[in-house]
């Protein structure tokens, strides 16, 4: 297997053992949206870039309230998350022109949740062949854009489309 440098992962790898608390709860407290990679803040939830994306534009929608239980959330939160999903799809389509999306939640460790105690919705833009050729034949995962470039591309679209809500 070949390796490709991903220097933005270095901070995470060096500090993962020091991390305490919830990544979403930490991010929502940061006043600098660019520094936290928060694309949009709603009343009950927010949109944030995934720091370890499967594809460029991979983002997550998370509630401000720290909870693992989606089924116990109120209608206001689930409705807002649905509206933020629509907003995210519009922005991602304008910025990246994907041919499809993976959208979903991993609820519980056995379902693949990396952050079990704070549910969140993943939105991943997809293109034909984006996940099979390099990992399978080349043993390499490639992400074509770093987080700051993704933020710069999406943030203005979230601002513009979010004002229309």
Active site residues: 120
At residue 44, φ and ψ (nearest 5 deg) are -120, -15
Q: State the Cα–Cα distance between residues 142 and 54, nearest whole angstrom.
A: 9
Q: What secondary structure letter does DSSP report for 17?
A: G
Say if CB 82 and CB 47 are below 8 A apart.
no
Residues 6+ apart with CB under 8 A from 127: 55, 98, 99, 100
Residues 6+ apart with CB under 8 A from 147: 8, 37, 49, 51, 53
Say if CB 58 and CB 124 are below 8 A apart.
yes
């Amino acid at each position: 297997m070949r390796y490709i440098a991903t220097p933005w992962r270095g901070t995470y790898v060096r500090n993962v053992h020091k991390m305490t608390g919830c990544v979403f709860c930490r991010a929502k407290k940061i006043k600098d949206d660019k520094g936290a990679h928060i694309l949009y803040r709603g009343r009950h939830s927010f949109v944030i870039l995934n720091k370890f994306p499967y594809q460029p534009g991979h983002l997550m929608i998370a509630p401000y309230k720290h909870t693992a239980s989606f089924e116990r959330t109120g209608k206001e939160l689930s409705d807002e998350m649905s509206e933020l999903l629509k907003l995210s799809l519009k922005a991602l389509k304008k910025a990246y022109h994907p041919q499809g999306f993976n959208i979903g939640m991993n609820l519980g460790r056995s379902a693949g949740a990396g952050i079990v105690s704070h549910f969140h919705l993943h939105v991943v833009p997809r293109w034909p062949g984006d996940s099979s050729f390099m990992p399978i034949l080349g043993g390499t995962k490639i992400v074509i854009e770093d987080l700051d470039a993704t933020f710069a591309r999406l943030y203005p679209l979230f601002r513009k489309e979010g004002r229309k809500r």
